[in-house]
Amino acid sequence: MNPNSLEASAFVTAGLHPVPVAVTTIDGTRTNGLITLSGGPASVVPEAPRVTVSITKYNFSHDMVLRSGVFTLHVLGGGPERLGASLAIIRALAGRSGRDGDKLGALRTRTGVTGAPVLLDALGYVEARVTGSLDNDENTIFVGDVVSAERLHRGSKLLIGEAWSALGRKWTDEYEDNHEAQINHCRVMRGLEATAISTD
């Protein structure tokens, strides 16, 4: 694609999913979670809701959801009362991979009806059982029936802009650096060339 089209594509798609969603899952006895910007509704039937999330194959959570067929989507709270707890969840779940050790121990949780952990400091959650999944080389888009849902706290949803400024430059720079390997893995899975990873 030419540079103008790439720029136009980035403009059109940026910000379409402004709500960070914390996803948890369980596979056997192992629990894990990650942060996504890909959570959303996946049905127009109000009495039988479905939800969707896209998880890259590079992430530890990907194969866990593929095997177990369960995932829980949480929205986080914004504003002075809930921002601190929400940032702690983002730092814990997006700061590193579950491959390198448990990430949920530092967070307040209880076990949901699917067995996946519920994050008690989230604003609310839906638990889902996978009904379908679409393999896209670099990621899988999962769709699931909502089997349980609850609002845990009052308040408005955290938006990624508020989170990104509050996380601070140091954290976001580190995140972007760590993310390069993930993007390269996605390139390779799509048959594209990996780029050199910066070391500064």
Ligand X SMILES: Cc1cc2nc3c(=O)[nH]c(=O)nc-3n(C[C@H](O)[C@H](O)[C@H](O)COP(=O)(O)O)c2cc1C
| Footprint of ligand X (CB under 6 A) | 20, 32, 34-38, 54-56, 59-61, 94, 96-99, 160, 175, 182
Q: Which is nearer to ligand X, 3 or 51 (CB)?
A: 51
Closest approach of Cβ 30 to ligand X, in Å?
Answer: 11
Q: Which is nearer to ligand X, 6 or 181 (CB)?
A: 181
Residue type, 31: T
Closest approach of Cβ 42 to ligand X, in Å?
Answer: 14
Q: Which is nearer to ligand X, 20 or 112 (CB)?
A: 20
Q: Which is nearer to ligand X, 60 or 125 (CB)?
A: 60
Closest approach of Cβ 48 to ligand X, in Å?
Answer: 24
Q: How far apart are CA 1 and CA 9, in angstroms?
A: 10
Contact 25, 53 (CB under 8 A): no
Contact 33, 70 (CB under 8 A): no
Residue that has been written with the tokens 């990996």 in this structure: 194
Looking at beta carbons, which pairs linking 81-85 to residues 24 or more positions away fall under 8 Å? Answer: 81/155, 82/121, 82/123, 82/153, 82/155, 82/158, 83/158, 83/162, 83/166, 85/121
CA distances from 9 to 14, 137, 140, 159 (A): 8, 20, 21, 22
Closest approach of Cβ 183 to ligand X, in Å?
Answer: 10
Closest approach of Cβ 192 to ligand X, in Å?
Answer: 18
Q: Which is nearer to ligand X, 36 or 68 (CB)?
A: 36
Contact 109, 116 (CB under 8 A): no
